[in-house]
Amino acid sequence: MIGHLPRYASLALLSISFTFLRAEIKNDTTITDLTVKPLCTADAAQFRDWQIVNPNTSPVEVSWYLIGTDQYGKLSVPPGETGFMTEAPYFQNVLFPSLMVIYWKNGSGWRRVDVTFGSGAVCGVEEVSAANSDERIAERIARGLLAMIDSLRNGAGTGTGPASGGTGATNVAEVYGNPSTGMYRLYLSVDAGQQTLIGMYNAQGTQLQSRVVSQATGYVDLNATGYLPGIYYLKVQNGGFTKTIKLIKN
């Protein structure tokens, strides 16, 4: 995992710098009023849907780029709303945040830009909101990066992921690949001196799975392929630490 730290670090920096970039755009009153916003999608595990809003009376030539990927393109955006789709980016089977940038030239020839995170909202299941924004994925990756650094500093081993048995517990429990068609990956960084209990429940509160894991730091694979599409909940308990995570199965 050490060799992958630059990729995680870049995503963490993107999450931080996005706030400043958004503030800079908002304060520039000369920007042509094009905006890009995330939409819900039918398959959040594979795609992200977007909409460009052009309130002007004539078309605008717009370029777009999904940061950190090889996905980019150009659109002639007519007045009104124009939708388009990109693929959800993955790295070693881990879902990464979709961060969309659009740029164009205003009437004076100056380049202008708008930027937003995508949404994992599934159409017909939930509305686009901060809770399902890909910005949350960027934040989780940033926390995971800090947990890995903490694990390495405390002498944990290296390998395909954060090593188990690290002494630097940070009470982290995050799920990657969510939404998913059935396979989820839980990242843990918890107290090695406490037992960790994992339970999966359906939307009605019925327990579907229960297991005890011995590792304090690292990845735990979760299999929900046998369940119907819908909303499920994962409950993680380690000593006094408890966290419930909503899972979306497509």
Domains of the chain: 2-132 (2.60.40.1930), 164-249 (2.60.40.1930)
DSSP character string of 25-82: HHH-TTS-S-EEEEE-BS-TTTEEEEEEEE-SSS-EEEEEEETTSS-EEEEEE-SEEE
Section 146-174 average pLDDT: 55
Type of residue numbered 227: Y
Q: Residue 179: what are its φ and ψ, rounded to 5°?
A: -70, 165
Rounded Cα–Cα distance for residues 180 and 196 (Å): 23
Rama region for 224: left / alpha / beta (φ>0; ψ in -120 to 50; rest): alpha
Question: In terms of residues, how long is the chain?
Answer: 250
> Quick one: DSSP state of residue 30?
T
According to the model, what pLDDT value does residue 168 have? 44
Rg, C-alpha atoms of the chain = 20
For the record, the structure tokens of 90 come out as: 């993955």
Type of residue numbered 244: T
pTM over 0.75: no
> Of 11 and 168, which is predicted with more confidence?
11
Residue 21 binned pLDDT confidence (cut-offs 50, 70, 90) = low
Burial of 3 (0-12, 13-18, 19+ CB in 10 A): exposed
According to the model, what pLDDT value does residue 156 have? 44
Rounded Cα–Cα distance for residues 245 and 140 (Å): 13
Section 27-56 average pLDDT: 84
> Quick one: DSSP state of residue 13?
H
Residue 151 binned pLDDT confidence (cut-offs 50, 70, 90) = low
Using one digit for the tens of pLDDT, what is the confidence trace for 162-217? 333 444 446 888 887 788 888 888 888 888 888 899 999 998 899 999 999 988 88
Contact 174, 140 (CB under 8 A): yes
